[in-house]
């Protein structure tokens, strides 16, 4: 029984906020988890403001096996649907296994406030299940807000806040979902090279500094490396693009717990409109 309690505690520590607000997309994972300055279909989870710069209907899927443990599987499906003004985003994320399951369903919207600035908002339904009978289930709603701005053709800044309403998950002990605040910066040296950095602070966690470098040695082929400080992890990955199809492969590495492989696949319908997407 003691081992079971310790394992459940481990799950809560390692994956407590994974299904809530962990970044998705193997590109972001390879960049140390820095994601809020990026603009693509995964912005439906990472920063809804990025949806404002998405001009094409897109779909994506992401899978992560944290520390190579089947109990720590993390999966996500996202979609982006542009309309006349702005872009709607849909997202589902799930974490865990039969005895410990978290899930998140979200509907978001991002809109350009000007040619260079965008804002986004999302409403989420969070669901938790621990065991079948003893612990039961719980669910709640929360919101998230984001901003993204292009200060120049080379510099992108962003901010994102998750759960500013401090949603309550259970009446017992007045337990609330953690809030999270992120600030990010991206600098584009050229079409071949960019760097990205991000700071993240949660309600009950230390500041996590994340960042990485993306380099394209050939057209539509990308190499990426990154790091994060809390927990300390290295990350690396590759990406390829063929017309509207994008495939990314990455892994994070913790010196004690080992590797966490990730894979992402997305598709952009129609010819990409660079005026909004770049």
Total length of the chain: 278
pLDDT confidence bin for 170, thresholds 50/70/90: confident
Q: What is the pLDDT of residues 70-93, one digit of tens each?
A: 889 999 999 999 999 999 999 999
pLDDT confidence bin for 136, thresholds 50/70/90: confident
Token pair belonging to 213: 């470098």
User: Could you tell me what percentage of the chain is helix, strand and coil, using 3-state DSSP and rounding each to the nearest 5?
Assistant: 15, 55, 30
Topology adopted by domain 2-277: Porin (2.40.160)
Angstrom distance (rounded) from CA 147 to CA 152? 16
End-to-end CA distance of the chain: 54
Token pair belonging to 144: 């998230």
Angstrom distance (rounded) from CA 232 to CA 212? 14
């Amino acid at each position: 029984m003691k081992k079971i309690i310790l394992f459940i505690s481990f799950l809560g520590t390692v994956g407590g906020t994974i299904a809530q607000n962990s970044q998705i997309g193997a590109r972001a994972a390879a960049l140390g988890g820095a994601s809020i300055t990026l603009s693509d279909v995964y912005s439906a989870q990472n920063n809804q403001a990025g949806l404002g710069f998405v001009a094409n209907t897109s779909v994506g899927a992401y899978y992560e096996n944290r520390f190579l443990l089947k109990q720590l599987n993390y999966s996500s499906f996202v979609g982006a649907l542009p309309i006349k003004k702005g872009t709607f985003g849909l997202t589902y994320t799930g974490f865990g296994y039969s005895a410990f399951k978290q899930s998140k369903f979200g509907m978001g919207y991002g809109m350009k406030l000007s040619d260079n600035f965008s804002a986004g908002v999302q409403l989420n339904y969070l669901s938790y299940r621990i065991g079948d009978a003893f612990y039961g289930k719980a669910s709640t709603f929360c919101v998230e807000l984001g901003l993204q701005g292009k200060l120049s053709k080379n510099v992108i800044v962003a901010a994102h806040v998750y759960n500013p309403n401090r949603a309550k998950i259970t009446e017992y002990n007045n337990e609330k979902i953690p809030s999270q605040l992120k600030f990010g910066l991206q600098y584009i040296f050229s079409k071949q090279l960019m760097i990205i950095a991000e700071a993240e602070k949660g309600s009950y966690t230390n500041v996590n500094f994340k960042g990485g470098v993306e380099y394209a040695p050939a057209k539509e082929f990308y190499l990426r490396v990154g790091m994060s400080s809390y927990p300390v992890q290295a990350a690396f990955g590759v990406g390829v693009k063929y017309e509207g199809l994008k495939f990314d492969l990455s892994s994070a590495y913790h010196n004690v717990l080992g590797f966490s492989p990730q894979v992402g696949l997305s598709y952009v319908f129609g010819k990409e409109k660079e005026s909004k997407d770049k």
